[in-house]
Amino acid sequence: MREIVFDTETTGLDNQADRIIEIGCIELENQFPTGRSLHLYINPDGRKVHPDALAVHGITDAFLADKPVFAQVVDEIAEFFEGAHYVAHNATFDMGFLNAEFRRVGRLPVAAELVIDTLALARRRHPMGPNSLDALCRRYGIDNSHRTRHGALLDAELLTDVYIEMLGGRQAALGLSAIDTGQVDLRSDEPTIVIGERPAPLPPRLSAAELEAHAVLVGRIGESALWRKHG
Protein backbone atom coordinates (compact mmCIF):
# COMPACT_ATOMS: atom_id res chain seq x y z
CA MET A 1 0.00 0.00 0.00
CA ARG A 2 1.28 3.46 -0.90
CA GLU A 3 0.93 6.26 1.67
CA ILE A 4 2.05 9.88 1.81
CA VAL A 5 2.85 11.24 5.26
CA PHE A 6 2.52 15.00 5.04
CA ASP A 7 2.28 18.25 6.99
CA THR A 8 1.35 21.81 6.12
CA GLU A 9 2.11 25.27 7.47
CA THR A 10 -0.44 28.02 6.90
CA THR A 11 -1.01 31.76 7.21
CA GLY A 12 -3.54 31.16 10.02
CA LEU A 13 -6.18 28.81 11.35
CA ASP A 14 -9.18 29.51 9.07
CA ASN A 15 -9.05 27.21 6.03
CA GLN A 16 -11.56 29.39 4.18
CA ALA A 17 -9.69 32.66 4.62
CA ASP A 18 -6.10 31.51 5.19
CA ARG A 19 -3.77 29.65 2.82
CA ILE A 20 -1.18 26.88 2.77
CA ILE A 21 2.33 28.33 2.60
CA GLU A 22 4.40 25.16 3.01
CA ILE A 23 3.81 21.45 2.39
CA GLY A 24 6.18 18.58 3.15
CA CYS A 25 5.51 15.00 2.04
CA ILE A 26 7.22 11.63 2.59
CA GLU A 27 6.34 8.57 0.50
CA LEU A 28 5.82 5.17 2.13
CA GLU A 29 5.41 1.85 0.36
CA ASN A 30 4.03 -0.92 2.58
CA GLN A 31 4.84 1.29 5.58
CA PHE A 32 8.51 1.78 4.69
CA PRO A 33 10.01 5.06 3.36
CA THR A 34 10.93 4.89 -0.31
CA GLY A 35 13.28 7.88 -0.19
CA ARG A 36 10.93 10.05 -2.28
CA SER A 37 9.73 13.34 -0.82
CA LEU A 38 8.13 16.60 -1.86
CA HIS A 39 8.74 19.97 -0.23
CA LEU A 40 7.25 23.23 -1.46
CA TYR A 41 6.83 26.79 -0.23
CA ILE A 42 3.72 28.48 -1.62
CA ASN A 43 2.79 32.13 -2.08
CA PRO A 44 -0.53 32.74 -0.26
CA ASP A 45 -1.73 34.95 -3.10
CA GLY A 46 -2.15 38.18 -1.16
CA ARG A 47 -2.98 36.68 2.22
CA LYS A 48 -0.67 37.91 5.00
CA VAL A 49 0.86 35.56 7.56
CA HIS A 50 -0.86 36.04 10.92
CA PRO A 51 1.55 37.02 13.74
CA ASP A 52 0.50 33.97 15.80
CA ALA A 53 1.27 31.67 12.88
CA LEU A 54 4.57 33.44 12.26
CA ALA A 55 5.59 32.73 15.86
CA VAL A 56 4.99 29.01 15.25
CA HIS A 57 6.74 28.46 11.90
CA GLY A 58 8.75 31.64 11.28
CA ILE A 59 7.82 31.88 7.58
CA THR A 60 7.57 35.56 6.63
CA ASP A 61 5.62 37.37 3.93
CA ALA A 62 8.91 38.58 2.42
CA PHE A 63 10.21 35.02 2.12
CA LEU A 64 7.02 33.90 0.35
CA ALA A 65 6.86 36.84 -2.07
CA ASP A 66 8.66 35.10 -4.95
CA LYS A 67 7.20 31.62 -4.39
CA PRO A 68 4.60 30.09 -6.76
CA VAL A 69 0.91 30.29 -5.88
CA PHE A 70 -1.02 27.07 -5.25
CA ALA A 71 -2.48 26.94 -8.77
CA GLN A 72 1.06 26.74 -10.15
CA VAL A 73 2.05 23.72 -8.03
CA VAL A 74 -1.25 21.85 -7.73
CA ASP A 75 -0.37 19.42 -10.53
CA GLU A 76 2.93 18.53 -8.84
CA ILE A 77 1.16 17.97 -5.51
CA ALA A 78 -1.68 15.94 -7.02
CA GLU A 79 0.76 13.77 -8.97
CA PHE A 80 2.80 13.02 -5.85
CA PHE A 81 -0.33 11.96 -3.94
CA GLU A 82 -1.87 10.03 -6.85
CA GLY A 83 -3.09 6.59 -5.78
CA ALA A 84 -1.94 6.99 -2.17
CA HIS A 85 -3.51 7.38 1.26
CA TYR A 86 -3.04 10.75 2.98
CA VAL A 87 -1.43 10.43 6.45
CA ALA A 88 -1.40 13.48 8.74
CA HIS A 89 -1.37 14.30 12.45
CA ASN A 90 -4.67 15.98 13.31
CA ALA A 91 -5.68 15.36 9.70
CA THR A 92 -8.85 17.44 10.03
CA PHE A 93 -6.70 20.57 10.04
CA ASP A 94 -4.37 19.68 7.16
CA MET A 95 -7.07 18.12 4.99
CA GLY A 96 -9.36 21.09 5.61
CA PHE A 97 -6.73 23.39 4.14
CA LEU A 98 -5.69 21.05 1.33
CA ASN A 99 -9.26 20.42 0.22
CA ALA A 100 -10.02 24.15 0.36
CA GLU A 101 -7.03 24.81 -1.89
CA PHE A 102 -8.14 22.06 -4.28
CA ARG A 103 -11.64 23.55 -4.50
CA ARG A 104 -10.27 27.01 -5.30
CA VAL A 105 -8.52 25.66 -8.40
CA GLY A 106 -11.47 23.54 -9.50
CA ARG A 107 -10.30 20.14 -8.25
CA LEU A 108 -12.36 17.62 -6.29
CA PRO A 109 -11.66 17.26 -2.56
CA VAL A 110 -9.93 14.14 -1.24
CA ALA A 111 -12.31 11.35 -0.19
CA ALA A 112 -12.45 10.81 3.57
CA GLU A 113 -11.69 7.09 3.24
CA LEU A 114 -8.25 7.94 1.83
CA VAL A 115 -7.23 9.86 4.97
CA ILE A 116 -5.40 8.36 7.96
CA ASP A 117 -5.29 10.54 11.08
CA THR A 118 -2.29 9.63 13.24
CA LEU A 119 -3.69 11.70 16.12
CA ALA A 120 -6.80 9.50 16.22
CA LEU A 121 -4.56 6.42 15.99
CA ALA A 122 -2.40 7.70 18.87
CA ARG A 123 -5.45 8.41 21.03
CA ARG A 124 -6.63 4.82 20.57
CA ARG A 125 -3.20 3.42 21.41
CA HIS A 126 -2.43 5.85 24.23
CA PRO A 127 -5.77 7.03 25.63
CA MET A 128 -4.13 8.75 28.61
CA GLY A 129 -1.99 10.91 26.29
CA PRO A 130 -0.41 13.31 25.69
CA ASN A 131 -0.41 12.72 21.93
CA SER A 132 1.16 15.77 20.36
CA LEU A 133 3.91 15.10 17.83
CA ASP A 134 6.57 16.13 20.35
CA ALA A 135 5.04 13.89 23.04
CA LEU A 136 4.94 10.91 20.67
CA CYS A 137 8.56 11.48 19.69
CA ARG A 138 9.48 11.29 23.39
CA ARG A 139 7.34 8.19 23.87
CA TYR A 140 9.01 6.33 20.99
CA GLY A 141 12.53 7.61 21.56
CA ILE A 142 12.67 9.68 18.35
CA ASP A 143 15.15 12.57 18.40
CA ASN A 144 13.28 15.82 17.79
CA SER A 145 15.82 18.13 19.44
CA HIS A 146 16.29 19.97 16.14
CA ARG A 147 12.59 20.89 16.04
CA THR A 148 12.87 24.40 17.44
CA ARG A 149 10.02 25.59 15.19
CA HIS A 150 7.34 23.89 13.15
CA GLY A 151 8.34 23.07 9.57
CA ALA A 152 6.28 21.01 7.14
CA LEU A 153 9.04 18.70 5.86
CA LEU A 154 10.70 18.23 9.26
CA ASP A 155 7.34 17.49 10.88
CA ALA A 156 6.47 15.03 8.10
CA GLU A 157 9.80 13.25 8.64
CA LEU A 158 9.21 13.02 12.40
CA LEU A 159 5.62 11.91 11.86
CA THR A 160 6.84 9.19 9.49
CA ASP A 161 9.03 7.77 12.25
CA VAL A 162 6.18 8.03 14.79
CA TYR A 163 3.67 6.42 12.43
CA ILE A 164 5.96 3.47 11.69
CA GLU A 165 6.57 3.00 15.41
CA MET A 166 2.85 3.06 16.18
CA LEU A 167 2.43 0.29 13.62
CA GLY A 168 5.17 -1.77 15.28
CA GLY A 169 7.91 -0.90 12.79
CA ARG A 170 10.89 -1.04 15.12
CA GLN A 171 9.87 -4.38 16.60
CA ALA A 172 9.39 -5.84 13.11
CA ALA A 173 12.84 -4.64 12.07
CA LEU A 174 14.46 -6.21 15.14
CA GLY A 175 12.68 -9.48 14.43
CA LEU A 176 13.90 -9.57 10.84
CA SER A 177 17.44 -8.78 11.98
CA ALA A 178 17.47 -11.72 14.36
CA ILE A 179 16.22 -14.07 11.64
CA ASP A 180 18.70 -12.85 9.04
CA THR A 181 21.79 -13.09 11.26
CA GLY A 182 20.82 -16.11 13.30
CA GLN A 183 21.69 -14.16 16.44
CA VAL A 184 19.47 -13.22 19.34
CA ASP A 185 20.14 -10.20 21.53
CA LEU A 186 19.81 -11.47 25.09
CA ARG A 187 20.15 -8.03 26.64
CA SER A 188 16.84 -6.83 27.96
CA ASP A 189 15.44 -4.40 30.49
CA GLU A 190 12.59 -6.80 31.19
CA PRO A 191 12.80 -8.83 34.43
CA THR A 192 13.60 -12.55 34.09
CA ILE A 193 10.77 -14.80 35.22
CA VAL A 194 11.78 -18.25 36.46
CA ILE A 195 9.07 -20.90 36.68
CA GLY A 196 9.92 -23.43 39.35
CA GLU A 197 8.63 -26.93 39.97
CA ARG A 198 5.25 -27.08 41.73
CA PRO A 199 5.82 -28.28 45.34
CA ALA A 200 2.70 -30.44 45.31
CA PRO A 201 0.48 -31.64 42.44
CA LEU A 202 -2.87 -29.95 41.99
CA PRO A 203 -5.86 -32.01 43.19
CA PRO A 204 -7.78 -33.76 40.38
CA ARG A 205 -10.76 -31.86 39.02
CA LEU A 206 -12.67 -34.99 37.95
CA SER A 207 -14.91 -36.77 40.42
CA ALA A 208 -14.73 -40.53 41.05
CA ALA A 209 -17.99 -40.99 39.12
CA GLU A 210 -16.61 -39.12 36.11
CA LEU A 211 -13.43 -41.20 36.13
CA GLU A 212 -15.47 -44.40 36.26
CA ALA A 213 -17.69 -43.28 33.38
CA HIS A 214 -14.60 -42.47 31.31
CA ALA A 215 -13.12 -45.92 31.99
CA VAL A 216 -16.37 -47.54 30.81
CA LEU A 217 -16.24 -45.45 27.59
CA VAL A 218 -12.63 -46.47 26.89
CA GLY A 219 -13.57 -50.11 27.49
CA ARG A 220 -16.34 -49.91 24.91
CA ILE A 221 -14.03 -48.41 22.28
CA GLY A 222 -11.46 -51.12 22.80
CA GLU A 223 -7.81 -51.22 21.86
CA SER A 224 -8.17 -48.42 19.29
CA ALA A 225 -9.08 -45.88 21.99
CA LEU A 226 -6.83 -42.82 21.83
CA TRP A 227 -6.47 -42.75 25.60
CA ARG A 228 -4.84 -46.20 25.58
CA LYS A 229 -2.07 -44.86 23.32
CA HIS A 230 -1.46 -41.59 25.17
CA GLY A 231 -2.76 -42.35 28.65
150 is catalytic: yes
pLDDT confidence of residue 228: 66
**CA gap 149, 11 in Å, rounded:** 15
Distances (CA, A) of 44 to 90, 137, 174: 22, 31, 44
**CA gap 41, 24 in Å, rounded:** 9
pLDDT over 70 (residue 35): yes
Q: What average pLDDT does this structure show over 27-40?
A: 96
Q: What is the 3-class SS of 37-86, one letter each residue?
A: EEEEECECCCCCCCHHHHHHHCCCHHHHCCCCEHHHHHHHHHHHHCCCEE
Confidence of residue 216 (pLDDT cuts 50, 70, 90): confident
Tell me how many degrees the CA angle 35-41-47 measures, rounded to the nearest 5: 150
- Residue-averaged pLDDT of the chain: 86
Regarding the domain delimited by 2-180, which CATH topology (the fold level of the hierarchy) does it fall under? Answer: Nucleotidyltransferase; domain 5 (3.30.420)
As a whole-number percent, the residues of the chain with pLDDT over 70 amount to 81
**CA gap 76, 90 in Å, rounded:** 24
- Give 116-175 pLDDT, tens digit per residue: 999 999 999 999 999 999 999 999 999 988 887 789 999 999 999 999 999 986 544 443
DSSP line for 100-162: HHHHHTTPPPPPGGGEEEHHHHHHHH-TT---SHHHHHHHTT---TT-SS--HHHHHHHHHHH
Contacts of 36 (CB under 8 A, 6+ apart): 26, 27, 80
- Give 59-91 pLDDT, tens digit per residue: 999 999 999 999 999 999 999 999 999 999 999
Q: What average pLDDT does this structure show over 15-36?
A: 97
Confidence of residue 231 (pLDDT cuts 50, 70, 90): low
Out of 89, 146, 150, 230, pick the active-site residue. Answer: 150
